[in-house]
Amino acid sequence: MSWIPKSPKARRRLWVVAAAAPVLALAVGLSLWAMQDSVTFFFSPSEATPEAAPAGRVIRLGGLVETGSVSQTGTTVAFAVTDNAATSRIVFEGDLPDLFREGQGIVAEGRFGPDRVFRADTVLAKHDETYMPREVADRLKASGEWRPDGSAAPTAGSPPRDLAGASVS
């Protein structure tokens, strides 16, 4: 029993499929290869390990600007971003967004250097009182540090509070 069909129409279809499959596979492969440089992954500081985010690869790094970490020399600004599990140092050359400040969520796009200092090309800050980049909010929620009202994280022994902030004891 042969795997080639006996019908001339079926044989013709088989040859068309056999000729089109490699062409289609080549087109998909070339498209994926061409797009690999345009894909930018998002990492929080605790996820940005040397294995996951190697030096020289363009990524987005997001978290909260650490209080007391911002220092400016001319147009170069250095600051630290944290997700309350790890901290990454960021250096940015240029003008920061007007709403950039300590304790607020940001996303920086750039690359790590060999010294593991993140060199940012772009820094994006929140645009209103309730905005935080979705990726940053998801990571903070997963780590239990999410505070949508901007208040301090609850400490052990502090009384529970309702949505208005009143003590509920």
End-to-end CA distance of the chain: 82
- pLDDT (tens, 9 = 90+) of the chain, 169 residues, equals 577 888 889 889 989 999 999 999 999 999 988 887 677 788 999 999 999 889 988 899 999 999 999 999 998 999 999 988 899 999 999 989 888 888 888 999 999 999 999 999 999 986 655 666 777 778 888 877 766 655 544 444 444 444 444 444 4
For residue 48, give the 3-state DSSP assignment.
coil
Question: 87: which residues sit within 8 A by CB, 6+ positions away?
Answer: 45, 66, 80, 81
pTM of the predicted model as reported, rounded to 2 decimal places: 0.60
Cβ atoms of residues 55 and 114 within 8 Å: yes
